Amino acid sequence: MDVFSALADPTRREILCLLGKGPLDASRIAEHFDVTKPAISKHLKQLHAGGLVTRTVDAQRRIYGLDLNGLYDVENWIHERREAWHARLDSLQEFLEAKHGHKRRKD
């Protein structure tokens, strides 16, 4: 599963927000949702497969935390898209200024 597929689900995004406060075991994560523990376990597996969470084993418990490397990948992708759109919008602005002969006011 890629990182964006993992982020596509709102429950998984909420889990990431929870883990932003610190690592939690799967049972503690499940307490925050109105779904079954097996459903949360599936979400956690998908987040782990997407590279967004780490998983450590402590006896019978699975402890999950944010995987910053996966989040950096998302941040880098967004940054690249933002730069591309800024370049496109700058080109559009230049075209419109050339066509209409005036510059846009900056507020």
Task: For residue 74, tell me if it sits in a domain.
Answer: no
Q: How far apart are CA 64 and CA 55, in angstroms?
A: 5
C-alpha distances (whole Å) from 47 to each of 51, 89, 100, 103 are 6, 34, 50, 47
69 φ, ψ (degrees, to nearest 5): -60, -45
Task: For residue 38, tell me if it sits in a domain.
Answer: yes
pTM above 0.95, yes or no: no
If pLDDT is split at 50, 70 and 90, which confidence band does 103 have? low
pLDDT for residue 48: 96
11 φ, ψ (degrees, to nearest 5): -65, -40
Task: For residue 93, tell me if it sits in a domain.
Answer: no
If pLDDT is split at 50, 70 and 90, which confidence band does 32 have? very high
- Tally of domains in the chain: 1
| pLDDT tens digits, one per residue of 40-75 | 999 999 999 999 999 999 888 999 999 988 888 888
Question: Is pLDDT larger for residue 23 or for residue 82?
Answer: 23
Residue 107 confidence (pLDDT) above 60:
no
Task: For residue 45, tell me if it sits in a domain.
Answer: yes
Q: Look at 2-6, 11-15, 83-87 and tell me which has the smallest mean pLDDT.
A: 83-87
Task: For residue 32, tell me if it sits in a domain.
Answer: yes
- Helix, strand or coil, per DSSP, at residue 46: helix
Structural domain boundaries, residue 28: 3-67
Cα three-residue angle 59-60-64, rounded to 5 degrees: 90
Please report, for the domain that includes residue 16, its CATH number: 1.10.10.10
Q: What is the mean pLDDT of residues 10-24?
A: 96
